[in-house]
Amino acid sequence: MRTLNLILILVLAAGTALAEPVVVKNGAEPAHGVKQIEMEELWRVGGADDEENFFGLVTLAEMGPDGLVYVMDVQLCQVFVYDEEGTLVKTLFRQGDGPGEIRQPRDMVIMPDGSVGLVQEFPGKIVRVDADGNPLPSIEPRLGDAADGGFVAMNMAEQRGGTFLIASVEIKPGDTPASQNRVLYLSTLNDEHRVNEPLITMNAHWDFTNFTYREVENLPAFIWSSAVGPDGRIYSSAERNAYRINVWAPDLTLERVIEREYTTVKRTADSTAWLRGLLEAAFAQVPFPVELELSDTEPDINWLNRGVQVDGAGNLWILPSDGTVDQPEGVFATYDVFTPDGKFDHQVQAVCEGDGTEDGIFILGEDRAMVIKGYVDATATMFGGGGAAVEEEGEEADPMEMIYYRIVR
């Protein structure tokens, strides 16, 4: 009997050990140093010299399963679709409240069947159209029972490799008058588009009689720094000031935690002023005073400029907060590249037109990328900010421009 009990204990212990995620600890330096990659321009659209194409606020580019490039314009409420040669194939969506129409989109999700969804922040839903632009039923994800009251604000959605990832905020009345309880969460949707058990949650309480907006509570890393790999694995920065990426398998088991030695960057006065201006503009119309409580450090992983991306081969590209500042001449940004098993393999200096502090770069497939010039200001404007160029120069910013590249390895 004693022997049997010992065997049972060992089996249970082994099962517990197997349930624990593998922690991959990396040092501050990559195994294979720094590599510069040249970006061969294939085509560009927009900009001051393009008299035929005009864009509002372009904040996202993705490659669909059909090999076409989908570009989301949040101001025009449209998606522009281009082929490999840069020819405009079609436009999808329009502004409005009817079927296939949307206001203030926040993100874009491309389905395996070729349909496209735009994430509407409030009321939170995913407005969908088929590949020809015909309206499809919207998706309205929600935690818990709709009878509980409250409403949802959505931030992001991505479907890849059979995994449908979303980040949303569930908002319900608080326990006291003029207050709200908020649950910010990262989760997946099942085949019926119902919300599965959240992978990450964070709670925030808003008291409008004495309102303090705390950055660390309301701008968590996972809302912005999450991605899905080609095999359906989920990658997310769960903590603001920890260079740590959680990796969930397609069955939603936390299978790996990737860490890298990193020194948190202290926020500069200019960076603090920029964020304060963005938030003040966002709250400018509320009928009560708002106090802002901002962190004195930058998040370890860049939150605004797509800090977590996964290429077509399953390699993880991380843009740390110092990856866009003080770069060598001609370098757009420096990325940390991890192998699919979480090893810090090398750093990539992307040599192309643009500035990582102002523009955005999107990795498309295995060897394509798109630079969106003016991306940072466009995204800030989407959330209520005025844009640095407008505020500092007192004049309009340059027209937005997209440059499509082949990555030369």
The string of pLDDT tens digits covering residues 314-369 is 999 999 999 999 999 999 999 999 999 999 999 999 999 999 999 999 999 889 99
Tell me what pLDDT residue 381 has.
84
CA distances from 409 to 37, 43, 367, 406 (A): 6, 19, 8, 9
- The side-by-side arrangement of strands in the sheet containing 105-110 is 105-110, 116-120, 125-129, 135-139
CA dihedral 221, 225, 226, 227 (to 10 degrees): 180
Instruction: Give the per-residue SS3 of the chain.
Output: CHHHHHHHHHHHHHHHHHHCCEEEEECCCCCCCEEEEEEEEEEEEECCCCCCCCCCCEEEEEECCCCCEEEEECCCCEEEEECCCCCEEEEECEECCCCCEECCEEEEEECCCCCEEEEECCCCEEEEECCCCCEEEEECCCCCCHHHCCEEEEEEEEEECCEEEEEEEEEEECCCCCEEEEEEEEEEECCCCCECCCCEEEEEEEECCCEEEEHHHHCCHHHHCEEECCCCCEEEECCCCCCEEEEECCCCCEEEEEEECCCCCECCHHHHHHHHHHHHHHCCCCCCCEEEECCCECCCECCCCCCEEECCCCCEEECECCCCCCCCCCEEEEEEEECCCCCEEEEEEEECCCCCCCCEEEEECCCEEEEEECHHHHHHHHCCCCCHHHHHHCCCCCCCEEEEEEEEC
Position 115: which residue type?
S
For 290, the token pair is: 């708002």
Q: What is the pLDDT of residue 1?
A: 47
Which residues lie across from 302 on neighbouring strands?
A: none
CATH topology classification for 23-408: Neuraminidase (2.120.10)
Rounded Cα distance, 287 and 297, in Å = 30
> What pLDDT, on a 0 to 100 scale, did the predictor assign at position 285?
87
pLDDT at 7: 46
User: How many CB atoms within 10 Å of residue 19?
Assistant: 10
The reported pLDDT for the residue numbered 391 is 46
- Digitized pLDDT (tens) for each residue of the chain, 409 residues in all: 444 444 444 434 444 445 699 999 999 999 999 999 989 999 999 999 988 999 999 999 999 999 999 999 999 999 999 999 999 999 999 999 999 999 989 999 999 899 999 999 988 999 999 999 999 999 999 876 554 667 899 999 999 999 999 999 999 999 999 999 999 999 999 999 999 999 999 999 999 999 999 999 999 989 889 999 999 999 999 899 999 999 999 999 999 999 999 999 999 999 999 999 989 988 988 899 999 999 999 999 998 888 999 999 999 999 999 999 999 999 999 999 999 999 999 999 999 999 999 999 999 988 999 999 999 999 888 776 554 434 454 566 789 999 999 999 7
pLDDT for position 174: 93
Domain boundaries, the chain: 23-408
